[in-house]
Protein backbone atom coordinates (compact mmCIF):
# COMPACT_ATOMS: atom_id res chain seq x y z
CA UNK A 1 0.00 0.00 0.00
CA UNK A 2 2.98 2.32 -0.41
CA UNK A 3 2.69 5.30 -2.76
CA UNK A 4 3.03 4.18 -6.37
CA UNK A 5 2.01 0.59 -5.61
CA UNK A 6 -0.66 -0.94 -7.85
CA UNK A 7 -3.49 -2.56 -5.86
CA UNK A 8 -3.80 -6.27 -6.61
CA UNK A 9 -6.99 -8.31 -6.85
CA UNK A 10 -6.81 -9.54 -3.25
CA UNK A 11 -6.74 -6.00 -1.91
CA UNK A 12 -9.63 -4.92 -4.12
CA UNK A 13 -11.76 -7.90 -3.05
CA UNK A 14 -10.86 -7.53 0.62
CA UNK A 15 -11.67 -3.85 0.87
CA UNK A 16 -14.92 -4.06 -1.11
CA UNK A 17 -16.13 -6.74 1.31
CA UNK A 18 -15.01 -4.62 4.24
CA UNK A 19 -16.93 -1.63 2.84
CA UNK A 20 -20.03 -3.78 2.49
CA UNK A 21 -19.83 -5.04 6.06
CA UNK A 22 -18.70 -1.87 7.83
CA UNK A 23 -19.32 1.24 5.74
CA UNK A 24 -22.50 0.73 3.73
CA UNK A 25 -25.82 2.13 4.89
CA UNK A 26 -27.76 -0.57 6.83
CA UNK A 27 -30.76 -0.21 4.53
CA UNK A 28 -28.54 -0.97 1.55
CA UNK A 29 -26.19 -3.65 2.89
CA UNK A 30 -28.32 -6.69 2.04
CA UNK A 31 -29.39 -5.18 -1.27
CA UNK A 32 -25.90 -5.26 -2.79
CA UNK A 33 -23.89 -7.98 -4.47
CA UNK A 34 -20.14 -7.80 -4.99
CA UNK A 35 -18.56 -9.90 -7.68
CA UNK A 36 -14.96 -10.99 -7.28
CA UNK A 37 -12.33 -9.03 -9.17
CA UNK A 38 -11.91 -12.11 -11.39
CA UNK A 39 -15.54 -12.19 -12.54
CA UNK A 40 -15.28 -9.70 -15.39
CA UNK A 41 -12.25 -11.51 -16.77
CA UNK A 42 -14.33 -14.70 -16.75
CA UNK A 43 -17.08 -12.91 -18.69
CA UNK A 44 -14.55 -11.93 -21.33
CA UNK A 45 -13.23 -15.47 -21.55
CA UNK A 46 -16.76 -16.87 -21.84
CA UNK A 47 -17.45 -14.76 -24.92
CA UNK A 48 -19.86 -12.22 -23.43
CA UNK A 49 -20.10 -9.20 -25.64
CA UNK A 50 -20.02 -11.47 -28.69
CA UNK A 51 -22.61 -13.56 -30.50
CA UNK A 52 -22.22 -16.85 -28.61
CA UNK A 53 -21.58 -16.30 -24.89
CA UNK A 54 -21.13 -19.39 -22.73
CA UNK A 55 -23.31 -18.85 -19.67
CA UNK A 56 -22.37 -22.26 -18.28
CA UNK A 57 -18.82 -20.97 -17.75
CA UNK A 58 -20.04 -18.37 -15.23
CA UNK A 59 -23.25 -20.00 -14.02
CA UNK A 60 -21.86 -20.90 -10.59
CA UNK A 61 -20.86 -17.34 -9.74
CA UNK A 62 -24.40 -16.59 -8.55
CA UNK A 63 -25.22 -19.86 -6.82
CA UNK A 64 -27.85 -19.02 -4.21
CA UNK A 65 -27.99 -15.36 -5.28
CA UNK A 66 -30.76 -13.62 -7.21
CA UNK A 67 -29.13 -10.57 -8.76
CA UNK A 68 -32.52 -9.15 -9.69
CA UNK A 69 -33.45 -8.81 -6.02
CA UNK A 70 -30.45 -6.50 -5.51
CA UNK A 71 -30.40 -2.76 -5.96
CA UNK A 72 -26.69 -2.63 -6.74
CA UNK A 73 -24.34 -5.16 -8.33
CA UNK A 74 -20.66 -4.19 -8.13
CA UNK A 75 -18.26 -5.48 -10.79
CA UNK A 76 -14.56 -4.51 -10.57
CA UNK A 77 -13.00 -4.40 -14.04
CA UNK A 78 -9.31 -5.13 -14.60
CA UNK A 79 -7.95 -4.67 -18.11
CA UNK A 80 -4.57 -3.50 -19.40
CA UNK A 81 -3.15 -3.13 -15.86
CA UNK A 82 -5.92 -0.71 -14.93
CA UNK A 83 -8.93 -0.87 -12.61
CA UNK A 84 -12.36 0.63 -13.18
CA UNK A 85 -15.72 -0.05 -11.53
CA UNK A 86 -19.03 -1.06 -13.07
CA UNK A 87 -22.22 -0.96 -11.00
CA UNK A 88 -25.47 -2.42 -12.28
CA UNK A 89 -28.26 -0.37 -10.73
CA UNK A 90 -31.77 -1.74 -10.19
CA UNK A 91 -31.74 -4.82 -12.46
CA UNK A 92 -35.00 -5.84 -10.76
CA UNK A 93 -36.78 -2.91 -12.43
CA UNK A 94 -36.82 -4.98 -15.61
CA UNK A 95 -37.19 -8.44 -14.09
CA UNK A 96 -39.41 -7.99 -11.02
CA UNK A 97 -41.15 -4.65 -10.49
CA UNK A 98 -40.69 -1.12 -11.91
CA UNK A 99 -42.34 0.29 -8.78
CA UNK A 100 -40.00 -1.43 -6.32
CA UNK A 101 -36.75 -0.48 -8.03
CA UNK A 102 -35.36 2.72 -9.49
CA UNK A 103 -34.52 3.29 -13.12
CA UNK A 104 -31.98 0.67 -14.26
CA UNK A 105 -28.59 1.53 -15.69
CA UNK A 106 -24.96 0.44 -15.82
CA UNK A 107 -22.72 2.92 -14.05
CA UNK A 108 -19.11 2.87 -15.21
CA UNK A 109 -16.56 4.80 -13.15
CA UNK A 110 -13.07 5.03 -14.64
CA UNK A 111 -10.42 7.41 -13.31
CA UNK A 112 -8.54 7.38 -16.63
CA UNK A 113 -11.40 6.71 -19.07
CA UNK A 114 -9.19 3.90 -20.33
CA UNK A 115 -11.76 1.10 -20.48
CA UNK A 116 -14.58 1.04 -23.01
CA UNK A 117 -17.76 1.74 -21.08
CA UNK A 118 -19.86 0.55 -24.01
CA UNK A 119 -18.04 -2.78 -24.05
CA UNK A 120 -18.38 -3.22 -20.29
CA UNK A 121 -22.10 -2.43 -20.38
CA UNK A 122 -22.70 -4.70 -23.38
CA UNK A 123 -21.05 -7.65 -21.63
CA UNK A 124 -23.00 -7.10 -18.43
CA UNK A 125 -26.33 -6.76 -20.24
CA UNK A 126 -25.66 -9.97 -22.15
CA UNK A 127 -24.83 -11.73 -18.92
CA UNK A 128 -27.97 -10.44 -17.19
CA UNK A 129 -30.14 -11.61 -20.08
CA UNK A 130 -28.92 -15.20 -19.68
CA UNK A 131 -28.95 -14.94 -15.90
CA UNK A 132 -32.60 -13.88 -16.10
CA UNK A 133 -33.43 -16.99 -18.12
CA UNK A 134 -31.75 -19.11 -15.44
CA UNK A 135 -33.47 -17.34 -12.55
CA UNK A 136 -36.93 -17.07 -14.14
CA UNK A 137 -37.40 -19.94 -16.61
CA UNK A 138 -40.54 -19.33 -18.63
CA UNK A 139 -40.85 -15.85 -17.20
CA UNK A 140 -41.41 -14.15 -20.51
CA UNK A 141 -39.11 -11.97 -22.61
CA UNK A 142 -37.14 -9.19 -20.94
CA UNK A 143 -34.89 -6.96 -23.02
CA UNK A 144 -31.57 -5.91 -21.50
CA UNK A 145 -30.51 -3.31 -24.04
CA UNK A 146 -28.87 0.10 -24.23
CA UNK A 147 -32.32 1.68 -24.17
CA UNK A 148 -33.76 -0.30 -21.24
CA UNK A 149 -30.51 -0.31 -19.22
CA UNK A 150 -28.40 2.62 -20.45
CA UNK A 151 -24.74 3.20 -19.78
CA UNK A 152 -23.99 6.15 -17.49
CA UNK A 153 -20.42 7.46 -17.17
CA UNK A 154 -20.37 10.30 -14.62
CA UNK A 155 -17.51 12.82 -14.82
CA UNK A 156 -15.67 11.43 -11.79
CA UNK A 157 -12.28 12.57 -10.41
CA UNK A 158 -9.29 11.54 -12.51
CA UNK A 159 -6.01 10.13 -11.25
CA UNK A 160 -2.77 11.97 -11.92
CA UNK A 161 -0.57 8.88 -12.21
CA UNK A 162 -0.69 5.27 -13.41
CA UNK A 163 -0.87 3.51 -10.04
CA UNK A 164 -3.84 4.89 -8.08
CA UNK A 165 -6.69 3.43 -10.17
CA UNK A 166 -7.51 0.75 -7.59
CA UNK A 167 -7.73 3.30 -4.79
CA UNK A 168 -10.08 5.41 -6.90
CA UNK A 169 -12.28 2.36 -7.50
CA UNK A 170 -12.53 1.74 -3.76
CA UNK A 171 -13.41 5.36 -3.06
CA UNK A 172 -16.06 5.34 -5.80
CA UNK A 173 -17.58 2.24 -4.20
CA UNK A 174 -17.59 3.85 -0.77
CA UNK A 175 -19.38 6.95 -2.06
CA UNK A 176 -22.10 4.83 -3.62
CA UNK A 177 -22.55 2.61 -0.56
CA UNK A 178 -22.96 5.58 1.76
CA UNK A 179 -25.26 7.60 -0.51
CA UNK A 180 -28.90 7.75 0.73
CA UNK A 181 -30.25 8.06 -2.82
CA UNK A 182 -29.57 4.38 -3.44
CA UNK A 183 -31.80 3.13 -0.61
CA UNK A 184 -35.09 3.97 -2.30
CA UNK A 185 -36.54 3.82 -5.81
CA UNK A 186 -36.64 6.96 -7.90
CA UNK A 187 -38.05 8.04 -11.23
CA UNK A 188 -35.31 10.63 -11.79
CA UNK A 189 -33.73 10.24 -15.21
CA UNK A 190 -30.53 8.24 -15.01
CA UNK A 191 -28.42 10.91 -16.71
CA UNK A 192 -29.07 13.41 -13.89
CA UNK A 193 -29.66 10.98 -11.03
CA UNK A 194 -26.06 10.81 -9.85
CA UNK A 195 -24.68 14.25 -10.68
CA UNK A 196 -24.97 15.62 -7.13
CA UNK A 197 -22.62 13.05 -5.60
CA UNK A 198 -20.70 11.51 -8.51
CA UNK A 199 -18.79 14.36 -10.12
CA UNK A 200 -15.26 15.65 -10.66
CA UNK A 201 -15.28 17.66 -7.43
CA UNK A 202 -16.39 14.93 -5.04
CA UNK A 203 -12.81 14.37 -3.80
CA UNK A 204 -9.23 15.29 -4.62
CA UNK A 205 -5.87 13.54 -4.85
CA UNK A 206 -5.07 14.32 -1.22
CA UNK A 207 -7.95 12.08 -0.15
CA UNK A 208 -6.56 9.26 -2.29
CA UNK A 209 -3.19 9.56 -0.53
CA UNK A 210 -4.95 9.47 2.82
CA UNK A 211 -7.03 6.48 1.74
CA UNK A 212 -3.90 4.50 0.90
CA UNK A 213 -2.64 5.05 4.41
CA UNK A 214 -6.04 4.26 5.94
CA UNK A 215 -6.25 0.94 4.08
CA UNK A 216 -2.70 0.08 5.09
CA UNK A 217 -3.52 0.87 8.72
CA UNK A 218 -6.70 -1.22 8.55
CA UNK A 219 -4.85 -4.23 7.15
CA UNK A 220 -2.18 -4.04 9.85
CA UNK A 221 -4.83 -3.66 12.54
CA UNK A 222 -6.80 -6.68 11.32
CA UNK A 223 -3.60 -8.69 11.00
CA UNK A 224 -2.66 -7.90 14.60
CA UNK A 225 -6.15 -8.83 15.80
CA UNK A 226 -5.97 -12.08 13.87
CA UNK A 227 -2.59 -12.92 15.39
CA UNK A 228 -3.86 -12.22 18.90
CA UNK A 229 -6.94 -14.35 18.28
CA UNK A 230 -4.85 -17.27 17.08
CA UNK A 231 -2.60 -17.03 20.13
CA UNK A 232 -5.60 -17.58 22.39
CA UNK A 233 -7.20 -20.37 20.38
CA UNK A 234 -6.73 -24.02 21.38
CA UNK A 235 -4.39 -26.02 19.19
CA UNK A 236 -5.02 -29.40 17.66
CA UNK A 237 -2.65 -32.33 18.08
CA UNK A 238 -0.81 -31.22 14.95
CA UNK A 239 -0.10 -27.87 16.58
CA UNK A 240 -2.45 -25.90 14.32
CA UNK A 241 -5.08 -23.55 15.69
CA UNK A 242 -8.68 -24.62 15.24
CA UNK A 243 -10.05 -21.15 14.53
CA UNK A 244 -11.01 -19.67 11.18
CA UNK A 245 -8.90 -17.17 9.35
CA UNK A 246 -10.58 -13.77 9.41
CA UNK A 247 -8.58 -12.16 6.62
CA UNK A 248 -6.62 -13.52 3.71
CA UNK A 249 -4.64 -11.26 1.41
Q: Which burial class, exposed, middle or buried, applies to 244 when counting CB atoms under 10 A from its CB (0-12, 13-18, 19+)? A: exposed
Instruction: State pLDDT tens for residues 38-72.
Output: 999 999 999 998 888 999 999 999 999 999 999 99
Domains with residue ranges and CATH for the chain: 9-227 (3.40.395.10)
Say if strands 72-79 and 105-109 run parallel, antiparallel, or are unpaired.
unpaired
Instruction: State pLDDT tens for residues 133-175.
Output: 999 988 888 999 999 999 999 999 999 998 999 999 999 999 9
Q: How far apart are CA 146 and CA 127, in angstroms?
A: 14
Q: How far apart are the first and last CA of the chain?
A: 12
Instruction: State pLDDT tens for residues 109-143.
Output: 999 999 999 999 999 999 999 999 999 988 888 99
Q: Which residues contact 34 (CB under 8 A, 6 or more apart)?
A: 16, 17, 20, 74
Specify the pTM.
0.87
Query: What pLDDT sits at residue 1?
Result: 59
How much helix, strand and coil, in percent to the nearest 5, is found in the chain? 45, 10, 45
Q: Which residues contact 241 (CB under 8 A, 6 or more apart)?
A: 230, 233, 234, 235
Amino acid sequence: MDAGEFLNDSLIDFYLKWLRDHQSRPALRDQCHFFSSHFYTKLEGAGFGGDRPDHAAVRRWTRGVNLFAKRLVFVPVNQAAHWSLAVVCSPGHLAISPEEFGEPCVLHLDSLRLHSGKEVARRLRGYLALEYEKQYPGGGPVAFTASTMPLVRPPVPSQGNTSDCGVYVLEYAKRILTEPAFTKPTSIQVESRFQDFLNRKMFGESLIREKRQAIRKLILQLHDEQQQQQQHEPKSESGQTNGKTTMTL
